[in-house]
């Protein structure tokens, strides 16, 4: 079963996409597998609505554990299952908080074994801050992802005017990368994401 990892900086909309994409695919509830810092796993079942309330936050580093969910993706005339992973935010440098350092290490560990890489960037923040918002970790993810092949950037928050402006900046900065304009909140671009995942399932 293919693993599809969702990663990026904190507060770019990863968890919102994670749950709204499941909803877009027709799921009303989800079974989530969490892996803590010691490698211990726990499984919890939520309605999508309850999961959004519990997991989505504007607080940086709300997501620290790797969270897995099995999804059925339409492919050809049938469907196939994949595992979608939501991960903790990545930042440049070494954070003082040990739990954040461990979270980042876990994210990178899962990145190296993922079959499909979805890299989310907040396009609205890009427009406001220009290159300062594209951090070194974003460039490193892009370089690694392009070397793997099954990789794309989600330019998120294009429902905002600043997001559309930021999208144009990203297209110039990452000319050789497949970029999908999305709004995790309003489920914009989800059809294109589904097609991308379907094409790259092993």
Q: Per residue of the chain (202 residues), give pLDDT as tens.
A: 899 999 999 989 999 999 999 999 999 999 999 987 777 889 999 999 999 998 887 665 556 688 999 999 988 778 999 999 999 888 776 666 666 677 778 888 889 999 999 999 999 988 666 545 688 999 999 999 999 999 999 999 999 988 998 999 899 999 999 999 999 999 999 999 999 999 999 7
Tell me how many domains the chain contains. 1
Give 190's DSSP letter.
Answer: H
Torsion of CA 185, 118, 52, 75, to 10 degrees: 90
Q: Hey, how many other C-beta atoms are within 10 angstroms of the C-beta on 58?
A: 6
Give 77's DSSP letter.
Answer: T
CATH number at residue 122: 3.40.50.300
What is the rounded distance in angstroms from the CA atom of residue 175 to the CA atom of residue 153?
Answer: 11
161: nearest Cα among 133, 191, 125: 125
What is the rounded distance in angstroms from the CA atom of residue 42 to the CA atom of residue 154?
Answer: 29
Helices (H), the chain: 14-24, 48-55, 98-111, 123-129, 136-148, 161-173, 190-200
| Residue ranges making up the domain that contains 82 | 2-200
pLDDT at 113: 92
pLDDT at 105: 81
What is the rounded distance in angstroms from the CA atom of residue 55 to the CA atom of residue 62?
Answer: 8
Q: What is the pTM of this model?
A: 0.90
């Amino acid at each position: 079963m293919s693993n599809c990892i969702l990663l990026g900086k904190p507060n770019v909309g990863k968890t919102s996409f994670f749950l709204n994409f499941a909803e877009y695919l027709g799921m009303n509830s989800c079974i989530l597998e969490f892996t803590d810092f010691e490698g211990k796993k726990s499984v919890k079942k939520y309605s999508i609505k309850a999961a959004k309330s519990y997991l989505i936050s504007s607080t940086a580093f709300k997501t620290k554990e790797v969270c897995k969910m099995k999804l059925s993706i339409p492919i050809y005339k049938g469907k196939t299952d994949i595992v979608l992973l939501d991960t903790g935010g990545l930042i440049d440098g070494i954070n003082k908080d040990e739990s954040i350092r461990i979270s980042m290490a876990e994210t990178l560990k899962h990145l190296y074994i993922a079959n499909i890489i979805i890299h989310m960037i907040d396009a609205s923040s890009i427009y406001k801050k220009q290159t300062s918002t594209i951090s070194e970790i974003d460039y490193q993810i892009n370089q690694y992802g392009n070397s793997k092949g099954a990789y794309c950037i989600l330019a998120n928050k294009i429902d905002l005017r600043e997001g559309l402006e930021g999208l144009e900046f990203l297209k110039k900065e990452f000319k050789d990368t497949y970029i999908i304009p999305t709004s995790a909140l309003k489920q914009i671009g989800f059809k294109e994401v589904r097609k991308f995942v379907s094409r790259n399932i092993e």
